[in-house]
Chain A
């Protein structure tokens, strides 16, 4: 009986681990897609309303319902509440917060960081170019992440349980 319980625990833990990794692949694709939506909203705020960044980022965060709202919301919080913080620093801390929730690749973090370097410090025309570039890079990253998801998601969904079953068999 005890062995049976132990086997069930091992099987379910390994299975859950596999499902979690598979979920990360799926979530990353979604995050990259919604980040592009966020940039679209930011573009509207900058282009048509010329909203200053603290308020623009806050509005984007309120309009987004998915995970990337963390990035915009955190940066807006810092800009509105903390003194002497540059936009770049606030954006970097937003990226760190997002990365804590959804593991992003170094390349994806790089895209967001480079975008943050130019955020707010130039003319509207330059800002729109910066947004457009970041959006295009995120679109390509999303495509790559989607391919990785297709390749790995199903594998990890089964591999967790498979690994669990193998461990159980060895132990038995």
Chain B
């Protein structure tokens, strides 16, 4: 039934922003964190543009793996790409240590919180997930040591990917409370980012002038903040609370930044719901996302079910991967639960 697929191809602007110039060559920041011999293999086998690659995985004693939307591949020691993972170049402890040294700029102390949370953000907004041995302090995780695996998640910024849904998210000049429901890796963060940008910058076609947007980016995924600078286009009037718990961040933004819209990713905890009700009382619009396959799936979860029963959200955007990442399944009215956009 769904035939609209949001355009999730990365735009040139992001490529230029994330890149560093080295010897006249433009290289992405994530590429420069790899050890030199792996870089030459990647450059020879796949090329640094890496269109369509979503993840790069380094696991000690196992092959280097690239994952695109459809397939996985590796590079053999001669630099040829192959789908046979067992033939891939094997990652050593030295490779991982060198990558970590590059990632942390030789300053592990500066990324303690990130290690504790299990990820780092790179210039360009890409994220690197980490696994290793947990170090506990009084029962809670203090940090990770003996890092054994890294997952580079290549960030996607697609300006204009929210164009299809934006006309349905207003009542007059009021932004409607909106929930994006989507399974993992279907483009919900990419969609949310572009929605934030458009709310913030305004849309000439919809005669919307743009409003202050408060963004609580708990996992540094939406704005991709790196040393205080957003790595993605998030709009002229957007204030970002980076790496801050959602519930706390929403309250802080309301008190201090007078936003008209608050955006955040992946709600689901009880405290998030309490914060959302306070946001509602402050007359601020909320745009957020949740993991889920469909509307019915969300209705089965106790905390989210309550929110839907209260008819908190006025618009519900459902994404899937049915016809590729970013398939727009439906835009529902939160009160009547009827489709407000016909998708043929």
- Quick one: which of A52, A122, A126, A127 contacts B105, CB cutoff 8 A? A52
Asked whether, in the complex, the Cβ of A79 is within 8 Å of the Cβ of B109, the reply is no
Closest-CB distance, A164 to chain B (whole angstroms): 50
Asked whether, in the complex, the Cβ of A50 is within 8 Å of the Cβ of B109, the reply is yes
Contacts of A52 in B (CB 8 A): 104-107, 110
Give the complex CA separation of A120 and B102 in angstroms.
Answer: 12
Closest-CB distance, B220 to chain A (whole angstroms): 15
Asked whether, in the complex, the Cβ of B105 is within 8 Å of the Cβ of A50, the reply is no
Asked whether, in the complex, the Cβ of B36 is within 8 Å of the Cβ of A53, the reply is no
Asked whether, in the complex, the Cβ of B32 is within 8 Å of the Cβ of A79, the reply is no
A83-B32, A123-B143 known; A54+B108 contact, CB < 8 A:
no
Give the complex CA separation of A84 and B32 in angstroms.
Answer: 10
Give the complex CA separation of A122 and B110 in angstroms.
Answer: 10
Asked whether, in the complex, the Cβ of A86 is within 8 Å of the Cβ of B107, the reply is no
Binary interface encoding of chain B residues 9-51 relative to chain A, with 1 for a CB under 8 A from any of its CBs, else 0: 0000000000000100000000010011000000000000000
Asked whether, in the complex, the Cβ of A53 is within 8 Å of the Cβ of B112, the reply is no
A123-B143, A124-B112 known; A79+B106 contact, CB < 8 A:
yes
Closest-CB distance, A107 to chain B (whole angstroms): 26
Would you list which residues of chain A between 62 and 112 have a CB under 8 Å from chain B? 79, 83-84, 86-87, 90
Indicate the member of B36, B105, B109 with the most A CB atoms within 10 Å.
B109
Closest-CB distance, A84 to chain B (whole angstroms): 6
Q: Is B278 an interface residue (CB 8 A)?
A: no
- Quick one: which of A84, A90, A120 contacts B108, CB cutoff 8 A? A120
Contacts of A50 in B (CB 8 A): 109-110, 112
Asked whether, in the complex, the Cβ of B105 is within 8 Å of the Cβ of A84, the reply is no
Would you list which residues of chain B between 76 and 117 have a CB under 8 Å from chain A? 98, 101, 104-110, 112
Asked whether, in the complex, the Cβ of A120 is within 8 Å of the Cβ of B106, the reply is yes
Q: Is A46 an interface residue (CB 8 A)?
A: yes
- Quick one: which of A56, A83, A84 contacts B107, CB cutoff 8 A? A56
By a beta-carbon cutoff of 8 Å, the part of chain B in contact with chain A is: 22, 32, 35-36, 98, 101, 104-110, 112, 143
